């Protein structure tokens, strides 16, 4: 097949900009089941991995959608990410945004460990929900135990504004 000169020039420029020892991919999509049997789709506009360690994939412009067995959906976006295609662990960095059942989360980092069954959200964490707002340094969600720890570092305070219906509180 004869390749037009413009396309040849574009390919040469892309190869020249590619870091040595890395493989670069465009518009990638991973789809799999986590260890709990929930389906997820992980997309990235651009990804790269080291030629000698292809199980670690670095991602740009990340969108992850988790489809849980209870028919709920979690959508996570970030500017950067790392995916381990062997353990299925994911790290989301820079401008992390998540939406789940009407709740919104903003943070600088999220670390989902499929292999150890936990989710850590950290750095400038803000969760906004119809029930209120929580600001903290770190959220640690143990997936197996189904519990959430809200953590403050360096003697900072955890800020929470909770919207409650007083009638229901008084009936208790």
Q: Three-state secondary structure along 65-121?
A: EEECCCCCEEEEEEEEEEEECCCCCEEEEEEEEEEECCEEEEEEEEEEECCCCEEEE
Question: What pLDDT does residue 93 have?
Answer: 94
Is the pLDDT assigned to residue 162 strictly greater than 60? no
The per-residue pLDDT of the chain, averaged, comes to 79
Q: Using alpha carbons, select from 43, 45, 48, 12 the residue that is nearest to residue 26.
A: 45
Chain segment 32-76, per-residue pLDDT in tens: 888 778 888 999 998 888 766 778 888 899 999 988 888 888 899
> Cα–Cα distance between 87 and 80 in angstroms, integer?
19
Is the pLDDT assigned to residue 167 strictly greater than 60? no
Is the pLDDT assigned to residue 82 strictly greater than 80? yes
Sequence length of the chain is: 172
Question: What pLDDT does residue 11 have?
Answer: 60
Chain segment 107-116, per-residue pLDDT in tens: 999 998 888 8
Chain segment 126-150, per-residue pLDDT in tens: 888 888 888 888 888 877 776 777 7
Question: What pLDDT does residue 36 have?
Answer: 79
Above pLDDT 90, what percent of the chain? 17
Is the pLDDT assigned to residue 85 strictly greater than 90? no
Question: What pLDDT does residue 142 have?
Answer: 78
Question: What pLDDT does residue 170 have?
Answer: 42
Question: What pLDDT does residue 149 have?
Answer: 78
Is the pLDDT assigned to residue 17 strictly greater than 90? no
Chain segment 28-39, per-residue pLDDT in tens: 888 888 877 888
Is the pLDDT assigned to residue 152 strictly greater than 50? yes
Contacts of 30 (CB under 8 A, 6+ apart): 41, 42, 43, 83, 85
* Cβ 100 vs Cβ 74: under 8 Å: yes
């Amino acid at each position: 097949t004869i390749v037009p000169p413009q396309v040849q020039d574009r390919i040469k420029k892309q190869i020249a900009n590619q870091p040595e020892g890395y493989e670069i991919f465009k518009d990638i999509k991973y789809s799999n089941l986590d260890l709990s049997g929930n389906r997820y789709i992980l997309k990235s506009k651009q990804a790269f991995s080291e030629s000698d360690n292809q199980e670690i994939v670095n991602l740009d412009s990340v969108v992850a959608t988790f489809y849980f067995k209870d028919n709920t959906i979690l959508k996570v976006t970030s500017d950067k990410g790392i995916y381990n295609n062997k353990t299925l662990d994911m790290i989301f960095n820079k401008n992390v945004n998540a939406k789940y059942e009407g709740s919104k989360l903003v943070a600088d980092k999220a670390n989902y460990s499929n292999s150890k069954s936990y989710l850590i959200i950290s750095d400038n964490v803000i969760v906004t929900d119809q029930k209120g707002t929580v600001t903290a340094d770190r959220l640690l969600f143990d997936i197996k135990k189904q519990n959430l720890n809200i953590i403050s570092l360096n003697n900072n305070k955890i800020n929470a504004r909770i919207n409650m219906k007083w009638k229901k509180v008084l009936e208790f």
